[in-house]
Structure 1
Amino acid sequence: MQIKEIIAALEELAPLSYAEDFDNVGLLTGSPEWEATGALVTLDTIEEVVDEAIDKNCNLIVSFHPIIFSGLKSLTGRNYVERAVLKAIKNDIAIYAIHTALDNHFRGVNDRICEELNLVNRKILVPQQKTIKKLLTFVPKADAENVREALFAAGAGSIGNYDNCSFSLNGSGSFKGNEDSNPVIGERGKTHFEEETQIGITFPKHLEKAVLKALFESHPYEEVAYEVTSLENVNQHIGIGMIGELEQEMEENAFLNLVKGTFGPGSIRHSALLGKKIKKVAVLGGSGSFAIEKAKSAGADIYLTADLKYHDFYKAEGKLVLADIGHYESEQYTKNLLGSYLNKKFANFAVVLTHTDTNPIKYF
């Protein structure tokens, strides 16, 4: 099996088109054409993880965080990033990073946090914008059903819990082919009127190539008339962070004890407790100060995230509790999620979780 087959499976889970613009996801070192000997799954790709991959005969590291985040102008081994990359290249080890593509998946990083806390009624906290596109095309009435079914098969027409969604409008289309045309219907050089069906159908943006391929292959015309637009509709299944509810509300201290016992941080930094019970919980793995206002407007009683700065805690403003549970701690279950997924996809292939502790933060 080639590395590109594993990459295809990962991008089926978390398409890279949903990664944030600032991110650096995808294949960072190595070739997709290499034969895969094994996959080591990790949160971070540091030099010790590369050593572990070598020791376990894994020539692919599936990493949540990208080891190469900003541009590298040289590779001399002067810092931990360059040392890890150099060792991977020297030993023919491919590194693939998934990061915010998985952050923005409904069943990704934040859903895993919710799962650990047994939260119910889960929803995306910060839905990603412009993830839904709309296709309009014009088809002879006799071929409309065939084209529509081809678009459905390519993944178009799925909205929330519904599939095969579309809208059709009948009308009359006209066209005249020039001397170089080869019309399927009508005659070259003569204006032709055809009873046509306008088909409108939405699709997630990562499927655009597949949807257009299905359109062109199923449409009878030599020249296919179509338009694709991005919609402003909120997609409740793509975005970062999540909000859910405890089945039974808890006292603040009891809930913080639950969080500490579940995620194991050396400490939990938090804003002032409000003396009210916790029911609605917002979570965002990794650095999440940017979503404090979203957590407040969603009515969360507490917001669990990481990397909060001194002044961020003021933003609680007595409306919720802000709790910093640690960057590594909030994302630690990600490798389990990826490992379980890959093991199901490739039952007879070696997928192992790293034993290297990649948390750079220690507690005294």
Structure 2
Amino acid sequence: MQIHKIIQALEQFAPPTLRESYDNVGLLTGDAAWHCTGILISLDATEEVVLEAKARGCNLVISHHPIIFGGLKKITGSNYVEKAVIASIKNDIALYAIHTNLDNVKEGVNGRISDLLELRNRQIILPKTGFLRKLISFVPIDKIDIVRNALFSAGAGQIGNYSECSFQAEGTGSFLAGEGTNPYAGQQGSRHYEKESRLEVIFPSYLERGVISALKASHPYEEVAFDVVELQNQWDRVGSGIIGELVEEMEELQFLGRLKELFRVPVVRHTELRNKTIRRIAVCGGAGSFLVNRALQLKADIYVTGDMKYHEFFDANGQMVIADVGHFETEQFTVDLLYDILAEKFPTFAVFKTGVLTNPVNYYI
């Protein structure tokens, strides 16, 4: 199997277009045309992980964090980034990163944390805008179902938990077929009026090429009239963080104890307790201080994240508890998530989870 087939499966789950603008995702070293000998999954692609991949006979490392984040002006092995890059190139091991695009899909990093906490009634804390498009086309009435079904098959028509959503209105279109045409109806040189349906569907921007191809392939006209309109609607399946509810409310100290157990941490940094029960939980894997105000607006009882700075704890303002369990700790289950995606897609292929602990933070208890 070529590496690009594996990349394709990952990017169907978390398209690169959903990444944050500052991010660096995708294939960082290596060649997508290489035949893959095995996959090693890790949170970080350090030199030690690359050498582990070599020892296991894997020539593809898939990591959550991109080892190349900013520009590299020298590759001399003077730091951990350069050492990892040198090791990957020297040993013909491809490095692939799937970072904020995996954070931003509802079933991604934060979805896995929500599974761990058994949250119900989940919603994205900060949904994305500008990622939805509306396709409008005009179809002969007798062909409307053929075109509509083709668009649905291409991924159009999803709104929240509803699929196959469309709008249809009837009217009359006109055209005059010129020289060299082969019109579906009417004749060259004569204006023709055709009963048509206006068909509208919504789709995510990364599906645009496939949706338009499906429209043209299924539409009976030689020249298909259509509009693609960028929408500013929030997309409730894509964005930062997740908020949901526990099946049963818990005491604050009981819930903090549960965090220690589930995330396997020796300590949880948190704001002052409010002496209230916990029911509504906001989560964000990695560094999540940017969502504190939004979690407050959504009436979270507690916000679970990592990398909170001293002054950022004040932002809770006594209205909720902030619990910092660590950057690595909140994202550690991403390895399992990626493993499950690949194991389902390629059940007979060699996929491994790293045995290297890449967390640079240690605790003295």
User: Structure 1 length normalisation: TM-score?
Assistant: 0.96
CA deviation map 1:29-85 (0-9, x unaligned): 111111010000000001000010000010001111111111222322221111101
The answer to whether the aligner puts 1:294 opposite 2:285 as a matched pair is no
Indicate the residue corresponding to 2:210 in structure 1.
Answer: 210
The one-letter code matched in structure 1 to 2:88 is A
Give 1:194's aligned residue.
Answer: 194
Task: Give the share of equivalent positions with the same residue, in percent.
Answer: 52
**Aligned with 1:128: secondary structure?**
strand
Structure 1 residue aligned with 2:331: 331
Secondary structure, aligned partner of 1:337: helix
Tell me the residue number matched to 2:318: 318
Which residue in the other structure is 1:123 paired with? 123
Post-superposition CA distance 1:87-138 (Å, at most 9, x none): 1011111111111111111111111112222222222111111232110001
Structure 1 range deviating more: 232-241 or 307-316: 232-241
Q: Which residue of 2 aligns with 1:238?
A: 238
Task: Tell me how far 1:181 sits from its aligned partner.
Answer: 4.4
Residue segments in structure 2 that go unaligned for 5+ positions in a row: none
1:213-362 equivalent positions in 2, closer than 5 A: 213-362=213-362
Partner letter of residue 272 of structure 1? E
Name the stretch that deviates more: 61-70 or 170-179: 170-179
Quick one: distance in 1 between partners of 2:114 and 2:7?
26
- Counterpart AA for 2:332: Q
The reply to whether residue 50 of structure 1 matches residue 50 of structure 2 is yes
Alignment of 1:2-41 (within 5 A): 2-41=2-41
Q: How many angstroms apart in 2 are the aligned matches of 1:137 and 1:21?
A: 32
1:302-325 CA deviation, whole Å, 9 max, x = no partner?
101111111111111110011111
- Structure 1: runs of 5 or more not aligned: none
Partners of 1:325 and 1:187 in 2: how far apart?
71
Equivalent residue runs for 1:166-181 within 5 Å: 166-179=166-179, 181=181
Structure 2 CA distance for aligned equivalents of residues 186 and 311 of structure 1? 72
1:81 aligned residue? 81
What letter is aligned with 1:242?
Answer: I
In the TM superposition, what is the alpha-carbon distance from 1:232 to its structure 2 partner? 2.6
Instruction: Output one character per residue of 1:136-191: Cα deviation in whole Å (capped at 9) or x when no partner.
Output: 00122222221111111111112223222111111111223444544343333433
Aligned residues: 364
- Equivalent residue letter for 2:55: D
1:210 Cα offset (Å): 1.0
Mapped partners of 2:168, 2:8: distance in 1 = 34
Letter in 2 for 1:247: V
- Distance (Å, rounded) in 2 between the aligned partners of 1:48 and 1:217: 49
Whole-angstrom distance in 2 between the partners of 1:6 and 1:81: 24
In structure 2, what is the Cα distance between the partners aligned to 1:266 and 1:360? 15
* Aligned residue runs from structure 1 range 99-114, under 5 A: 99-114=99-114
Q: Distance in 1 between matches of 2:250 and 2:301?
A: 11
- Give RMSD over aligned pairs: 1.4
Partners of 1:169 and 1:40 in 2: CA distance? 52
Amino acid at match of 1:245: E
CA distance in 2, matches of 1:181, 1:77: 63
Q: 2:69 maps to what in 1?
A: 69
Q: In the aligned structure 1, how far is the partner of 2:119 from the partner of 2:224?
A: 48
Residue identity in the other structure for 1:361: V
C-alpha separation in 2, matches of 1:33 and 1:198: 43
Show CA shifts across 1:191-241 (max 9, x none).
322221110111122211111110111112222111111223322221221
2:303 aligns to what SS in structure 1?
Answer: strand
Once the two structures are superposed, what CA deviation does each residue of 1:238-282 show, in whole Å capped at 9, x if it has no partner?
122111112222221111111011112242221111111111111
Distance 1:171 1:225 in 2: 14
